[in-house]
Amino acid sequence: VRLLVELTYVLLGFPRHLSQHVGGFVIARGRLDELVPVENAAMADRTVIQWDKDDLDALGLLKIDVLALGMLSALRRSLEMVSRWRGWHFTLADIPREVPAVYRMLTNADSIGVFQVESRAQMTMLPRLAPDRFHDLVVEVAIVRPGPIQGGMLHPYLQARERARLGQPIDYPRPAHGNDEGVRPVLERTLGVPIFQEQVM
């Protein structure tokens, strides 16, 4: 048993598993295999880099993630189908906005099949956030991500949202010297909590 415990401590911090980002590309000026270790992937004619994104970032290599979302194709096909049924070109702009019944449905976590908010994590968050406008959904999708969660932004945002609902003042971060005037315009829409990458930049 003691050996097992010792080995457990040795293994702490090791990667749990190997994985690859299907849409991750690394771009370099020269041959990539001369810069980083490359190995064959499980799929024929594919290779993967043995380093993670943090290693690549430390070396200043450019990593780009190209995402393919099947739901976007489903949305396009749905709009085409509705257009044929209605007899005129139906677009996303024709869908009514800010429909209270939709927000009630989402607040009840009734979101199976709803693009971006159908995961278990999103469904857990929906009743807590209780969205009642589109911007709430933008925040919902952005905040249920590893970065904001690991950065400890989730609970401060929920607390700030509750304070705002109660009409209480919002606390904004203050620089060591000065006031919050430079920070307030950047963080106002997210109630003083940095959620979006652009706010931090």
* pLDDT per residue as tens digits for the range 131-162: 999 999 999 999 998 888 888 888 999 999 99
Reported pTM: 0.64
Can you give the pLDDT at residue 23? 76
Of residues 191 and 24, which shows the higher confidence score? Answer: 191
Is the distance from CB of 49 to CB of 56 less than 8 angstroms?
A: yes
Domains in the chain: boundaries: 2-65, 87-200
Can you give the pLDDT at residue 180? 62
The average pLDDT across 67-87 equals 88
Strand partners, 65: 24
The average pLDDT across 39-53 equals 85
Q: Residue 68 pLDDT more than 80?
A: no
The average pLDDT across 59-88 equals 87
Cβ contacts of 52 within 8 Å, gap of 6 or more: none
Cβ-count burial of 79 within 10 angstroms (0-12 exposed, 13-18 middle, 19+ buried)? middle
